[in-house]
Amino acid sequence: MSFRPEHELHKRRRGRNIGVGLMLGAFVVLIMALTYVKITQTDFELPANQREVTQ
Partner 1 sequence: MTDITNTPTSEYDAQLGDYFALLKPRVMSLVVFTAFVGLLAAPVSVNPIVGLCAILFIAIGGGASGALNMWWDADIDAVMRRTRGRPIPSGRVQPGEALTLGVALSGLSVMMLGLATNLLAAGMLLFTILFYAVFYTMWLKRLTPQNIVIGGAAGAFPPVIGWVAATGSFSVEAWLMFALIFMWTPPHFWALALFMRSDYDDAKVPMLTVTHGRPATRMHILIYTVLLAALAIGTAFTAIGGIFYFAVALVLNLAFLLGAWRIWKRDEVMAEADDYAEERKFFRLSLAYLFLHFGAILGEAALRTFGLGGW
- The count of residues interacting with partner 1 (CB under 8 A) is 18
Which amino acid, 45?
E
Q: What is the largest CA-CA distance in the chain?
A: 61
| Interface with partner 1, residue 53, by CB under 8 A | no
Contacts with partner 1 in 11-30 (CB under 8 A)?
12-13, 15-16, 19-20, 30
Residue with smaller CB distance to partner 1, 11 or 53: 11
Determine which helix (DSSP H) or strand (DSSP E) holds 23, and give its type and residue range: helix 8-41
d(CA 19, CA 15): 6
Residues forming the site for partner 1 (CB under 8 A): 4-5, 7-10, 12-13, 15-16, 19-20, 30, 33-34, 36-37, 41
